[in-house]
C-alpha cells in the first residue's frame, strides 16, 4: 500500500532553508526593486544578485528543474512543486534560483531538441544564468489558436528568411536570443507546417515595435514585446529540432511550466489566506472581531478548503508526471490545474483583499500584483476556455451513448436488474 503525503526529512530541511532565504534575503529585493528582476544588472544590484545566486548554488539548489544530465539535481516534479510553492510569493526568487520563465521552458526544449552546437551557444549561458531568452509564438491576430499564425520562414539557399509579427514576446527587452515559431510549409496541416528557430536578438531585421506591460504597469515599462521580423536572415542551422516540429516542441515546453505556475499560485494563495486570518483576528467592528462574524468565517473556510483541494490536485499532477515521465498521459490534469489556477487565485485574493477594506484596495498592501496575477494567469499559456475544452475532450474520450432511450442508470431498469440478481442468489 503506497499512499504517502509526507516529505523526506532531508528535503524538508532544504525547503526550510529556501523559506528562510526567500524571506530574509530575497524579499528585500521584492520590496525595494519591484519590476527589476528581468532587467540587466547594474553596478548597484549586480553584486547583490550574483552573491545570492552563488548562495543558492552552494546549497545545490540552482535551476532545480534540471535533470542531472544538465547539471541539475533531478528533483522531479513533486519536489520542484514544493520549491515553487515557496518561491511563488517573490518576483525575484525565480531569477535568483534560475527558474524564471520563459528561460526554463526554453532551456528544456534546447536541451531536448538542440544540436550540440546550439546547446553550447544558447543553452549553456542560459543554464548558468548569464543571459535571458525570449519565446516568440503569439501573433497580434492569433494566440489561443496557433493554426492562424502567419509569420513565415522561407528557405533561401543555405539560409532561412523570417517575416512577420509577434505579440507579447516576454523579455524581448533583455533577451540575448529569441526562439520564434514560423510557418515553413503552408501547404500541409499547420500542425506539421511550422518550425522553431533560434535567433540572436541583434540579428538585422529583428525589431521591437513597442513594449507592452500588464494591468497597471506604466506605458513602455512592460516586458512583453510587439516584435517585427522584417526579412530576418538566419543560417540553416538556426532551425531547432526538425522542420515542421514546432507544435511538438511547443507542447514539451508548456507541460511542466503549468505545474510550476500552479504551485507558485498555491504559495501566493497561502499568503493571501494568512493575511486574511491575521486581519480577521486583528480588526473589530460592531461589537466583535471580524473573525467572530459568521460570514467572515465562511470566507475563511471556503478559502482554506479551496486551497487545500487545489494544492493536492497540483501535487498529484506533479506526482503523475514523475511516475509516467510523459506529459501527454497527464494532459487532462495539467489542463485542469491550468484553468483552476486563476480561479483559485482570484477567489482567495479577492476575499482577503476585501476583508482589508479600503486598506486592501490601497497601494499600501500587496494585493494589486496578486489580483492582476489572476487575470494574467487566465490568459497566459492559453486561455481558460481552451484548457476546459481539453479536459472535456479527455473526459469524453471513449464514452459511449446509452444503448436505448433511457440512461444506463435509469432506476426502473436498474431495479429490474437487481430483482433478477436477487432471484439468482
Ligand X SMILES: Cc1cc2nc3c(=O)[nH]c(=O)nc-3n(C[C@H](O)[C@H](O)[C@H](O)COP(=O)(O)OP(=O)(O)OC[C@H]3O[C@@H](n4cnc5c(N)ncnc54)[C@H](O)[C@@H]3O)c2cc1C
Q: What residues contact 408, with CB distance under 8 A and at least 6 apart?
A: 402
Name the segment binding ligand X (CB under 6 A); options: 71-79, 136-144, 273-281, 396-404: 136-144
* Min separation Cβ 168 and ligand X, Å: 4
Please select the residue that binds ligand X; options are 77, 118, 169, 352, rule is CB under 6 A: 169
Q: Does 382 bind ligand X (CB under 6 A)?
A: yes
Q: Which helix (H) or strand (E) holds 224?
A: strand 224-235
As given in the structure block, the three cell numbers for residue 213 are 506591460
Q: How far apart are CA 245 and CA 180, in angstroms?
A: 12
CA-based nearest residue to 177, from 132, 146, 217: 132
Q: Does 151 bind ligand X (CB under 6 A)?
A: no
Please select the residue that binds ligand X; options are 45, 144, 254, 368, rule is CB under 6 A: 144
Q: Does 208 bind ligand X (CB under 6 A)?
A: no
Q: Does residue 177 contact residue 183 with C-beta atoms inside 8 Å?
A: no
Closer of 21 and 132 to ligand X (Cβ): 132
Please select the residue that binds ligand X; options are 138, 252, 270, 320, rule is CB under 6 A: 138
Please select the residue that binds ligand X; options are 137, 250, 336, 349, rule is CB under 6 A: 137
Q: How far apart are CA 333 and CA 266, in angstroms?
A: 16
Q: How far apart are CA 11 and CA 75, in angstroms?
A: 10
**Binding flags for ligand X, 212-231, as an x/- string (CB under 6 A):** --x---------x-------
Q: Does 143 bind ligand X (CB under 6 A)?
A: yes
Q: Does 15 bind ligand X (CB under 6 A)?
A: no
Closer of 144 and 368 to ligand X (Cβ): 144
Please select the residue that binds ligand X; options are 15, 277, 368, 386, rule is CB under 6 A: 386
Q: Does 250 bind ligand X (CB under 6 A)?
A: no
Closer of 178 and 290 to ligand X (Cβ): 178
Cβ burial of 371 (10 Å; 0-12, 13-18, 19+) is buried
Q: How far apart are CA 126 and CA 256, in angstroms?
A: 18
73-97 in b/e burial notation, b at 16+ Cβ within 10 A? Answer: bebbbbbbbbbbbbbbbbbbbbbbb
**Binding flags for ligand X, 59-98, as an x/- string (CB under 6 A):** ----------------------------------------
Q: How far is CA 23 from CA 39, 121, 273, 313, 327, in A?
A: 22, 35, 17, 26, 33
What's CA 341's distance to the chain center, in Å? Answer: 10
Closer of 168 and 177 to ligand X (Cβ): 168
Please select the residue that binds ligand X; options are 125, 200, 213, 383, rule is CB under 6 A: 383
For ligand X (CB under 6 A), the number of binding residues is 21
Position of minimal CB gap to ligand X: 143
Q: Does 174 bind ligand X (CB under 6 A)?
A: no
Q: Does residue 347 contact residue 303 with C-beta atoms inside 8 Å?
A: yes
Name the segment binding ligand X (CB under 6 A); options: 7-15, 85-93, 130-138, 330-338: 130-138
Give the dihedral of Cα atoms 232, 235, 236, 239; nearest 10 deg.
Answer: -60
Closer of 245 and 303 to ligand X (Cβ): 245
- 96-125: contacts with ligand X (CB under 6 A): 102
Looking at residue 183, the DSSP 8-state letter turns out to be: E
Enumerate binding residues for ligand X (CB under 6 A): 102, 135-138, 143-144, 168-170, 214, 224, 376, 379-383, 385-386, 389
Amino acid at each position: 500500500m503506497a499512499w504517502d503525503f509526507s516529505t523526506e526529512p532531508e528535503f524538508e530541511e532544504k525547503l526550510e532553508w529556501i523559506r528562510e532565504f526567500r524571506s530574509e534575503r530575497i524579499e528585500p529585493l521584492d520590496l525595494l526593486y519591484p519590476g527589476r528582476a528581468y532587467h540587466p544588472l547594474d553596478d548597484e544590484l549586480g553584486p547583490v544578485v550574483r552573491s545570492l545566486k552563488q548562495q543558492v548554488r552552494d546549497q545545490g539548489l540552482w535551476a532545480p528543474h534540471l535533470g542531472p544530465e544538465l547539471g541539475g539535481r533531478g528533483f522531479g516534479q513533486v519536489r520542484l512543486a514544493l520549491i515553487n510553492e515557496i518561491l511563488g510569493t517573490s518576483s525575484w526568487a525565480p531569477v535568483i534560483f534560475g527558474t524564471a520563465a520563459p528561460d526554463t521552458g526554453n532551456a528544456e526544449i534546447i536541451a531536448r531538441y538542440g544540436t550540440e552546437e546550439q546547446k553550447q551557444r544558447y543553452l549553456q549561458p542560459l543554464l548558468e544564468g548569464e543571459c535571458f531568452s525570449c519565446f516568440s509564438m503569439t501573433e497580434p491576430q492569433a494566440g489561443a489558436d496557433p493554426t492562424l499564425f502567419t509569420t513565415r520562414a522561407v528557405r533561401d539557399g543555405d539560409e532561412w528568411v523570417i517575416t512577420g509579427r509577434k505579440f507579447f514576446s516576454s523579455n524581448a527587452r533583455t533577451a540575448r536570443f529569441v526562439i520564434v515559431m514560423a510557418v515553413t510549409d503552408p501547404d500541409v496541416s499547420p500542425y506539421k507546417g511550422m518550425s522553431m528557430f533560434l535567433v540572436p536578438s541583434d540579428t538585422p531585421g529583428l525589431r521591437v515595435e513597442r513594449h507592452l506591460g500588464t494591468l497597471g504597469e506604466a506605458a513602455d515599462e512592460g516586458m512583453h514585446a510587439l516584435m517585427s521580423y522584417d526579412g530576418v536572415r538566419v543560417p540553416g542551422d538556426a532551425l531547432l529540432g526538425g522542420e515542421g516540429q514546432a507544435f511538438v516542441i511547443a507542447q514539451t515546453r508548456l507541460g511542466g511550466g503549468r505545474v510550476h505556475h500552479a504551485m507558485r499560485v498555491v504559495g501566493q494563495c497561502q499568503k493571501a489566506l494568512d493575511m486574511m486570518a491575521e486581519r480577521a483576528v486583528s480588526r473589530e467592528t460592531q461589537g466583535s472581531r471580524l473573525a467572530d462574524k459568521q460570514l467572515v468565517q465562511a470566507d475563511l473556510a471556503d478559502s482554506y478548503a479551496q486551497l487545500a483541494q487545489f494544492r493536492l490536485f497540483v501535487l498529484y499532477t506533479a506526482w503523475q508526471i514523475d511516475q509516467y515521465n510523459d506529459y501527454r498521459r497527464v494532459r487532462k490534469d495539467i489542463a485542469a490545474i491550468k484553468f483552476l489556477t486563476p480561479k483559485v487565485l482570484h477567489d482567495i485574493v479577492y476575499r482577503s483583499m476585501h476583508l482589508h477594506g479600503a486598506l486592501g484596495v490601497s497601494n499600501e498592501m500587496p494585493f494589486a500584483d496578486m489580483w492582476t496575477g489572476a487575470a494574467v494567469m487566465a490568459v497566459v499559456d492559453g486561455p481558460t476556455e481552451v484548457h476546459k475544452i481539453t479536459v472535456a475532450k479527455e473526459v469524453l474520450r471513449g464514452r459511449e451513448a446509452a444503448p436505448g432511450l433511457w440512461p444506463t442508470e435509469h432506476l426502473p431498469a436498474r431495479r429490474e436488474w437487481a430483482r433478477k440478481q436477487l432471484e439468482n442468489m
